[in-house]
Amino acid sequence: MTTATYAPESHESRFVARLAACRGTARRFPLALLELGMRVAVGATFFKSGMNKFQSFDTAIELFREEYRLPLLPPEIAAYMGTAMELSAPVLLVFGLCARLGAAALLVMTLTIQFLVYPGNWPEHLMWASILAYVLTRGPGTLSVDRIIAFNLFGRS
């Protein structure tokens, strides 16, 4: 007669199995919602800044003159350009209409802010730049006007 030994499942293998199950569940979360959330988060940040400048444009000019001090651009022109960019590019980004163009514009603005205005805020700028680089290189995702246009024009899914 042979005896069979019972080896109970180790705690480690149960942990690994649970971890694999959690990863499988997380993978089912729609990427399109994450992409939309990223676009809205960055877009809202820049749009809010643009609205603040628009509502008090004299203050915006003073900011460009005294605090931002961009080289090569007079404060008035920089204020107009910055405000226009902060009010238009986020709309493109959030709706996903020419989203790569909007992302590129905001990425240039982010890099300008990082290197010329607030170099100490690099963690925040790195987050913005990462999201914008994602949209620039991968597109806005399924929940976007760009996707609808591509589907209707080219029959892509």
Longest dimension (CA), the chain: 95
Residue 81 makes CB contacts below 8 A (sequence gap 6+) with 73
- Is pLDDT above 90 for 6? no
pLDDT averaged over every residue in the chain: 93
d(CA 74, CA 21) in angstroms, rounded, equals 57
Q: What is the pTM of this model?
A: 0.85
Give the domain ranges of the chain: 31-154
* Residues 88-106 pLDDT 10s: 999 999 999 999 999 999 9
* Residues 93-145 pLDDT 10s: 999 999 999 999 999 999 999 999 999 999 999 999 999 999 999 999 999 99
Phi, psi of 144 (to 5 degrees): -155, 155
CB atoms within 10 A of CB 105: 20
DSSP string for residues in 134-151: HHHHH-S-SSSHHHHHHH
**SS3 category, 157:** coil
d(CA 140, CA 101) in angstroms, rounded, equals 11
